[in-house]
């Protein structure tokens, strides 16, 4: 996002400050509604974000998947691919990584690498289904990816049960695969926390995507395809190939995220472990307006809030879902198109009613 001038920068900043304040106030109301003191709860959140070394570790732990899914969403949405199946692709990737981590016998760093590859490639393959359906049957990928999320959820649970064998009971909360081999795990950054080297993979990803968008022809084409597909096609962009590649790339990143979650945090696959982290990614990319650097920044906020929420739940009687609700509201406030709103309001001031909204200088 290129900011044109100071007033625009001001408007952007103002927007975030406003949204943040509004959300903080509503959050305070929600917290007192649950019988806790808002000040105390907010202090707990802050403490959970950076109050100690382990708090920082936890914050890093939560930032990592936010970046991955945020980038997965950005890559797709920026080119107009409505991949709402990041959650499902993540599960498939996580499960594949777990399998390799459990059974593959590979020396040294080859094992984690194989796990990561297995995860991301499975995510990619799972994304291939809606992509092909779109191309062959012209069915909107939005609805198919939504449905496939549920399919992924249940199928991975089924396979978990198979891996676990006869002793598995049907309660998905208690069900999990065995723990993966220790050599498959990613290195822990902060002792006794789940912060792993996964964050470096995530940041590397941000950098790569940034460079692609900023400096390469492919990145240029990806942007044009998203903003005006017909223009791009006439201009000589291979749009079909582009669509497939972007869909697969998005699935690849989502699968990678699943793998990193397993290798860096959980160590074993538990059904429905991800708790909407895929959806968080979509919200993050929307806040970040599909810019990779923006995703990194928004993820920091998101991950920090997640880490803080857990601490808040531990210390006060407030449910951590409060934070999830607050995050949803934050998205609502931030994605209001203030500039257009402002324009509309200004138009209305001197005289009532002008031309229809969003029309460009049409005199004739």
Interface of this chain with another protein, residues 82 to 111, rule: CB under 8 A: 82, 84
188, β-bridge pairs = 196
Q: If binding is defined by CB under 8 A, does position 340 make contact with another protein?
A: yes
Residue 224 tokens, joined: 């044009």
Nearer to another protein, 314 or 340 (CB): 340
Looking only at residues 157 through 216 of this chain, which bind another protein when binding is defined by CB under 8 A?
157-158, 161, 170, 215-216
Task: Please report the sign of the dihedral spanned by the C-alpha atoms of residue 162, residue 164, residue 168, residue 172.
Answer: negative
Q: Among residues 89, 239, 270, 290, which is the contact residue for another protein, using CB under 8 A?
A: 239
Rank residues 187 and 216 by Cβ distance to another protein and give the closer one: 216
The single-letter DSSP state of residue 193 is S
Report if residue 363 touches another protein, rule: CB under 8 A: yes
Q: Provide, rounded to whole angstroms, the least separation between the CB of residue 358 and another protein.
A: 9
CB 284 within 8 A of CB 305: no
Q: Is 137 helix (H, G, I), strand (E, B) or coil?
A: helix
- Measured from the CB atom, the residue of 102 and 155 that comes closer to another protein is 155
Task: From 60-68, 106-114, 225-233, 259-267, give the range in contact with another protein by CB under 8 A.
Answer: 225-233
Asked if 150 touches another protein (CB under 8 A), the answer is yes
Mark residues 5-34: x for contact with another protein by CB under 8 A, - for none.
-------------------------x--xx
By CB under 8 A, residue 4 contacts another protein: yes
- CA proximity to 24, closest of 301, 342, 335, 338: 301
Candidates 107, 108, 191, 236; binder of another protein (CB under 8 A) is 236
Site for another protein in 43-72 (CB under 8 A): none
Collect all residues with Cβ–Cβ distance below 8 Å to 45 and sequence separation of at least 6: 305, 308, 309, 311, 312, 323
Instruction: Choose, by CB under 8 A, the member of 148, 259, 265, 307 that binds another protein.
Output: 148
Distance CA 347, CA 350 (A): 7
96 and 75 Cβ atoms separated by less than 8 Å: no
Residue whose structure tokens are 């998005």: 250
Task: Phi first, then psi: give them for residue 79, nearest 5 degrees.
Answer: -105, 15
Count of residues interacting with another protein (CB under 8 A) = 84
């Amino acid at each position: 996002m290129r900011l044109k001038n100071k007033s625009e920068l001001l408007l952007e900043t103002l927007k975030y400050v406003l949204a943040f304040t509004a959300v903080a106030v509503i959050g305070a109301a929600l917290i007192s509604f649950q019988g806790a003191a808002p000040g105390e709860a907010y202090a707990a959140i802050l403490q959970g974000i950076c109050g100690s070394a382990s708090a920082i570790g936890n914050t890093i732990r939560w930032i990592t998947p936010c970046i991955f899914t945020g980038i997965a969403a950005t890559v797709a949405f920026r080119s107009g691919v409505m991949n709402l199946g990041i959650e499902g692709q993540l599960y498939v990737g996580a499960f594949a990584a777990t399998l390799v981590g459990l059974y593959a016998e590979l020396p040294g760093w080859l094992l984690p690498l194989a796990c990561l590859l297995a995860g991301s490639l499975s995510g990619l393959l799972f994304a291939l289904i809606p992509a092909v359906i779109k191309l062959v049957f012209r069915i909107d990928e939005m609805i198919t990816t939504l449905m496939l999320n549920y399919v992924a959820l249940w199928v991975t649970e089924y396979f978990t049960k198979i891996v676990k064998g006869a002793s598995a009971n049907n309660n998905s909360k208690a069900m999990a695969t065995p723990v993966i081999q220790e050599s498959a795990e990613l290195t822990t950054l902060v002792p006794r926390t789940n912060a792993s080297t996964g964050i470096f993979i995530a940041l590397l990803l941000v950098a790569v995507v940034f460079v692609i968008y900023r400096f390469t022809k492919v990145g240029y084409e990806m942007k044009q395809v998203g903003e005006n597909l017909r223009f791009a096609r006439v201009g000589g962009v291979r749009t079909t190939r582009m669509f497939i590649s972007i869909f697969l790339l998005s699935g690849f990143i989502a699968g990678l995220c699943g793998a990193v979650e397993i290798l860096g945090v959980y160590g074993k696959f538990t059904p429905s472990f991800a708790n909407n982290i895929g959806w968080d990614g979509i919200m993050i990319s929307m806040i970040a307006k599909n810019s990779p650097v923006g995703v990194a920044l928004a993820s920091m906020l998101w991950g920090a809030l997640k880490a803080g929420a857990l601490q808040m739940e531990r210390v006060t009687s407030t449910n951590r879902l409060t934070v999830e609700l607050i995050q949803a509201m934050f998205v609502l406030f931030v994605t209001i198109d203030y500039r257009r709103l402002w324009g509309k309001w200004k138009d209305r001031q001197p005289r009532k009613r002008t031309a229809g909204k969003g029309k460009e200088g049409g005199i004739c």
